Amino acid sequence: MRLILLVACLVLAVQSAHAAGRLAEVLVIDRDSGVPLRTYYHRGEYWVAGNPGARYAIEIRNTLHQRVLAVTSVDGLNVLTGDTARWDQSGYVLHGEEAYEITGWRKSQTEIAAFEFTAVSNSYAARTGRSANVGVIGVAVFRERAPDHAASIAPGAAAPPAPPARASSADSGIRGGADVDDGSARSAQRADAVVQPAPPARLGTGHGARERSYVEFTDFTRANSRPSEIVRIRYDSRENLLALGIIPRAAPVAGDPDPFPGSSLVHFVPDPPACNRGQLRQCVHE
């Protein structure tokens, strides 16, 4: 199989504490500042907060001393071909301990269309009729098969590629909505005069401006048909992550209005003030 090999890239040092993944450490980079977006871990999922209109990159660092293949998807689409993502597709090959920033949808060996956060309706996935998996970045990591002289200790013919994973109801996250029974529906009709606030718009990834980005082809033979690791990072707007409790709300700071300003401390009846000399006769009399 002919696969894309990245040739050169200047990247920032990876801060492992913020990266998702073990064999390949994955970060989402704000391209305007060059700083990794903060990664939040919530109920078994990694999340980042995107800013509408901002360009971003997916930084992948190979932690191994051997080459790996990183099949990468955004919103359920392969970033090299635009096809619905599967494990057996082309990806980026990284040498041992090499890092690379994927900055957009690959248009050719010399050009990409930049990743940028945008409304779901304007995302590349939605514009191509495939919006079911908007809001997720995925990296499937494959080790390279040992050279032929060591084939005696390797398994025989590789198994056919595994079918793509089917999304479960648990993956629906903020997309899902439960069905209601007839009684609930009638109650909702009786309360139709109550105006419900519209939920905040979700984020997807757009097909941004064209930029130069150079790669070349190379050969890579996978050690196994299934990935050694799958890294998954979900994203949405900061407002939505706050509403979901993924980003903890900060404690009130000075200047914020307080509905109970006298209740900051628990206390009981204080002692009366001590009498001074001018008030001594009055205090004794009392």
Domain boundaries, the chain: 2-156+198-243
Residue 223 three-state SS: coil
The CA-to-CA distance between both ends of the chain, in Å, stands at: 100
How many other CB atoms are there within 10 angstroms of residue 36's CB atom? 19
β 229-237/45-50 pair status: parallel
Question: Would you state the pLDDT for residue 10?
Answer: 37
Question: Would you state the pLDDT for residue 259?
Answer: 75
β 24-30/35-36 pair status: antiparallel
Instruction: Give me the tens of pLDDT residue by residue for the chain, a chain 286 residues long.
Output: 555 554 433 333 333 347 999 999 999 999 999 999 999 999 999 999 999 999 999 999 999 999 999 999 999 999 999 999 999 999 999 999 999 999 999 999 999 999 999 999 999 999 999 999 999 999 999 999 987 643 333 333 333 333 333 333 223 232 233 333 344 444 444 444 444 444 567 999 999 999 999 999 999 999 999 999 999 999 999 999 999 999 988 766 666 676 766 665 555 666 667 666 555 555 555 5
Question: Would you state the pLDDT for residue 258?
Answer: 67
For residues 123 and 202, what is the distance between their CA atoms, to the nearest angstrom? 10
The token pair at 233 is: 């990072």
The angle subtended at Cα 41 by Cα 79 and Cα 48, nearest 5°, is 45
Is the pTM for the entire model greater than 0.95?
A: no
